[in-house]
């Protein structure tokens, strides 16, 4: 899925916790705009899994724990 690859790359490129948080918000909001709220939890879970697979445990945990607006 293109969104997963792009999202992982964007989040992994963040240099600080603040920019990582901003990247996570941006990736999740863009996904929500394109696919709606219903698919967002699954995408967030898959994004965290993919980050773990790529060796980015800290980023994966941040994505997993990120609370989106309802």
Residue pLDDT, tens place only, 46-69: 999 999 999 999 999 999 999 976
CB 40 within 8 A of CB 69: no
CB 54 within 8 A of CB 8: yes
Residue 42 clears pLDDT 70, i.e. is over it: yes
Computed over every residue of the chain, the mean pLDDT equals 94
At residue 2, the pLDDT reads 87
CA separation for the pair 70, 64 (Å, rounded): 16
Task: Please state the pTM of the whole predicted model.
Answer: 0.92
* DSSP character at residue 15: -
At residue 1, the pLDDT reads 75
Where along the chain do its domains lie?
A: 2-65
């Amino acid at each position: 899925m293109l969104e997963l690859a792009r999202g992982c790359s964007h989040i992994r490129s963040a240099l600080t916790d603040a920019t990582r948080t901003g990247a996570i918000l941006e990736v999740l909001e863009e996904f929500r705009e394109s696919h709606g709220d219903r698919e967002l939890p699954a995408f967030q879970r898959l994004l965290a899994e993919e980050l773990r697979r790529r060796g980015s445990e800290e980023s994966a945990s941040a994505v997993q724990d990120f609370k989106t607006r309802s």
